[in-house]
Amino acid sequence: MSSITELIGRDELAVIRDFFSLTEYEAKAYIALILVGPAGISRLSQVAGIPRTKCYSVARSLISKGLAVKVSSKPFVIDAVKPEIVSSRLAEGLCVDAREKAAKVVETINRLAEKVGARSPRRGDQELAGVTLIESIEGLVSMLIEDIDRASKEILIATSNMPMEFPWRELLTPSIKALSRGVIIEYAGPRGSPAVKHIKMLLEGHISMLQVPQTDLGEDLGSADIIDRFRLYESGYIESPFIVIDEEITYNIFSDPIRRRHMFTIRIYNPRYARSMKIYFRMLTKGAGPLPP
């Protein structure tokens, strides 16, 4: 083989050069070593098509970058490290670097959030001008998780017969944490709805897989204690689902029954309205004691 320039095109050279962050001479030298095996300076210059005066520095650079190893000193001979090894090592390094950068970004944002929180009230500590319109299901889940994480007394959930796909599983962990803090969660579903018992089974299964936290007094909580704070009811007819949190926040959820999709939700921060919705919840569940475990 006289020169790799006869075999390799510009695009192929660019792919190898850019992935390994090499100069053009380094890329040519590395490819030459892969194709012909161990080579000294003269042979490398001939096959790679690199001026002989540049070959020694190029060879040293490949060694320092982990793409080549020195086979002997006199005469000076180097050999390429297999591309499978180099690319795998590089990929692992990029993953580690990406994780470190991601962690740094999260740390920076959290630090900024702490600075802002020290100077101004957080969302939920202010009245938010009363009403927030939530258009996406992702936004609804995100806001619900925040409010459930801040709940201290009770969460009332009323569902309807109107079909709607909803990622309830995403709320299981924050709900269990709320229960472990002493929060009461009451769930009312339409009579005969299979979702009522399914929710209970899902929650029990999820609790059994989690490490049960301790109370503020350091007392161990059993899964039975947590389950007792979750109460299920079969209710009368509910026009549209709603959620009431701590007699302060109400979520009114609206869906498209044909497409079975969430349309929009209105989040209302108004204690008076929340208390009236709590009364409505009690009316819906009046006479229907909590379902047995």
Please name each of the domains of the chain with its CATH number.
Answer: 4-84 (1.10.10.10), 131-284 (3.30.870.10)
**Who wins on pLDDT, 159 or 95?**
159
At 94 the pLDDT is: 66
At 245 the pLDDT is: 94
State what percent of residues in the chain have pLDDT above 90: 11
- Binned at pLDDT 50, 70 and 90, residue 14 comes out as confident
How confident is the model over 256-261, as a mean pLDDT? 76
At 195 the pLDDT is: 57
Q: Which 3 state secondary structure label does DSSP give 162?
A: coil
Q: Which residues of 264-276 are buried (b: 16+ CB within 10 A; e: fewer)?
A: bbebbbbeebbee
Strands 154-158, 184-190: pairing kind:
parallel
